[in-house]
Amino acid sequence: MGEQHDIDEDTPIFAIASAAELSGMHPQTLRQYDRLGLVVPARTQGGSRRYSLRHVQQLVEVARMSADGMGLPAIARILELEDRVRELHLRVRDLEERVRVELERRPGARVFAAGATGAVVTLRHGTRVRRATEVVLWSPRVGIAPMDDGQDEGTDAAPRDEPGPGVRGTA
């Protein structure tokens, strides 16, 4: 009845010989991948390489993709994109947790709302943002002759540069 201990997959715990054995590669291959920037392990204070479980998984992926005929630059790009996707997943998870905590702190309240200017504002439960109620009228341009292109005379004219009489505000 042993306890199960979860190992953080980002903790650099494996020496190069162990990582090479786990990934099924020669240690010299791991050194080459490190020099190329493909799978870069952490370093101890003495300069020794230390690989994490994630590094070992990446090494296995590199071996598979290489065996499938992919070039090392393409493999490097795939690993870079996979790291970016992982970072984004972690960020989304963090943001979802923050929203969940905020919703628990303020049950029934809005987390945010858009103000009249478009800015994000905090509201108390049951309050609303005042809406702008100005009316802006459109007027056709004066002094522009309608184009004779065979259309009916009732076509819309282009808007004027200045507001016409009876128009409030600015366009």
Total residue length of the chain:
171
Dist CA 140 CA 69 (whole Å): 65
Dist CA 78 CA 106 (whole Å): 42
Q: Which of 82, 78, 54 is nearest to 66 (CA)?
A: 78
Instruction: Give pLDDT, residue 68.
Output: 96
Our CA angle for 85, 90, 95, nearest 5°, is 125
Helix (H) or strand (E) holding 74: helix 72-105
Question: What is the C-alpha R_g of the chain?
Answer: 32
Q: Is residue 57 a contact partner of residue 24, using CB atoms and an 8 Å limit? A: no
What contacts 166, CB < 8 A, 6 or more positions away?
A: 137
User: Over its length of 171 residues, how does the chain's per-residue pLDDT go in tens digits?
Assistant: 455 667 788 899 999 999 999 999 999 999 999 999 999 999 999 999 999 999 999 999 999 999 999 999 999 999 999 999 999 999 999 999 998 888 888 766 655 676 667 777 776 666 666 666 655 566 666 665 555 555 554 444 444 444 445 545 444
CA dihedral (14, 18, 20, 21) in degrees, to 10, reads -140
pTM (two decimals): 0.55
CATH topology of domain 16-105: Multidrug-efflux Transporter Regulator; Chain: A; Domain 2 (1.10.1660)
Phi-psi map region of 6: left, alpha, beta (phi>0 left; psi -120 to 50 alpha): beta
Cβ neighbours, 10 Å, residue 52:
19
